[in-house]
Chains A and B, each alone.
Chain A
């Protein structure tokens, strides 16, 4: 059964990295409801992407491992529901401010 997950990806920041991340999701036809991507405020060579996706738990686990195969991705974690999406977004906004 499909449900919302918050996917948090921590990676290097460089040209085409966001494209690589989204490609993995597109290939598996995972629906992306919302997406935020940003450079780290104190180190522009690193960044994060936070996505609100809609998929099954089984596929979420498989996609996590496929994302972590991307060379520039440090880790990919996911949480059930959307609460963590808004919490992580808020945390990033406070850091930037």
Chain B
């Protein structure tokens, strides 16, 4: 049997000619070029050296960005993919090079990001012998990839690449990995025309829209008194923002967004009622248990959104529209399930739905959000005597950029604060690690995003904890002079964990206080101009200076050490029990 179990095909006599021979490495690079790849994030090593040697001759066609850690490469590829819609491409060597990709693969899988990773592997005859830098990459990454394959012969490289790109970018997108042994990289084979993959026999990425389900959904919507639409990343992946806007303007339905759906619907639209979930806005959470028809569009009812699922929207009829059949009925039972691409579903649904307005229902959201403003937001934005608040920093950033910058957040309090206070107006401007919550995501993802769309402003907002997980990528930013803007909100704590320790563990701050280095000196060591902000009056000038810079720029803002992010739906609580302030201890 060969490297893959395939039937051999006989060659026509006319094909048996003396054709030019090229290495498997060159086949790989030519295949990537045929797939319109221009940028690769990678880190070389012994087992992928033939590929890098071939890459030397493709410097005009392929821009290789040398990162400082393979995790930086894959997060950069994620940022690249999130803002452009194109698959991010990663090169890594065998053994630890490949295993350093695992976190990013898991992150990309749960957040549906198209990534193609190429890992070098030891010679095929050494597989399974515990050779130097040999790891069973395929079995290690099965649970964290949409698909993966090991290639041990050069003839299988091009078909594997074609299949990888097809799988990564169709249906619900995701990461794929191709593990290529060194002998396959070196092997010489006849050059042949690259064929893109148009189908895989066992894989059906495009659902067939069931019109009877669309009609059933429309009937519920048309008769609803309090319909409510939750939009997720599926709208962005489907590029359905225009159709969504048209649908909402016709039906008058209030719209809230999940974390990864931010930007799918303009935040300044009158029907937009806010961000929902654990740290979402008050109105969207409370009214989940008041609506009569709940529509989940391109979202998967994640536990951060639902809270206690036994007390989630039990009074409502639920319509769930998603491209991934396994998500339908996985968490909440759908009364009407539409297994479809979001854009296709909206396009059909809008024709069946009647024009409507739900003014009183929409106002109920705004009234609840007003309660939130008085108890939470006002304090966050207007407290001149307190330490700088994360909310006021993000509020200024949002105003200065008009809600149109690409903002890449790390994980923690600053992430939730940015999701609440940055008013995203456009698709593919919010980049964050949602399902996995990977600290260290933002810095490399921001540099990847900037390389994808250099004409747009890209700002990374990071906590002091997450920044230190991948700060080595300042080296990549320095080497390639990537003009990304970095804001570290420094509270000298792992803030979100500290918040939970305060609220649920009686302030037992176990291993959350951080003694940090001089971040300004670190940035300057990487030749990046840097400012530290400790006083309120310095904040806005610093933000302006950062945005005006044509180079990379670093701003550290010292924020309140023990500030908390509210509203909050505690883990396991009902969305109706959304807290606006810390709970009062029992007497």
Contact = CB atoms under 8 A, between A and B. Distances in A.
A72 B176 CA distance: 14
Given A71-B203, A74-B202, A14 B5 contact: yes
Contacts of B328: 65
Contact of A71 (B5, B167, B326): B167
A45 B167 contact: no
A65 B138 CA distance: 23
A93 B325 CA distance: 34
Interface stretch (A19-27, A29-37, A49-57, A78-86): A19-27
A5 B5 CA distance: 31
A13 B6 CA distance: 10
5 contacts: A13-B5, A16-B142, A19-B139, A62-B329, A62-B330
Given A71-B147, A72-B202, 12 more contacts: A11-B202, A12-B202, A20-B142, A23-B142, A61-B329, A62-B326, A65-B328, A65-B330, A66-B326, A68-B326, A71-B200, A71-B203
- Secondary structure at the A interface, as helix, strand, loop or mixed, is mixed
Contacts of B203: 71
A61 B325 CA distance: 11
Interface residues of B, number: 22
Nearest to A75: B202
Interface of A: 11-16, 19-20, 23, 27, 44-45, 61-62, 65-66, 68-69, 71-74
Interface in B107-154: 138-139, 142-143, 146-147, 150
Contact of B324 (A15, A27, A69): A69
A92 B139 CA distance: 28
Given A15-B150, A66-B326, A71-B147, A45 B6 contact: yes
A33 to B, nearest CB: 23
Contacts of A20: 142
B4 interface: yes
Contacts of B6: 45
A60 B459 CA distance: 45
B7 interface: yes
B142 A45 contact: no
B276 to A, nearest CB: 24
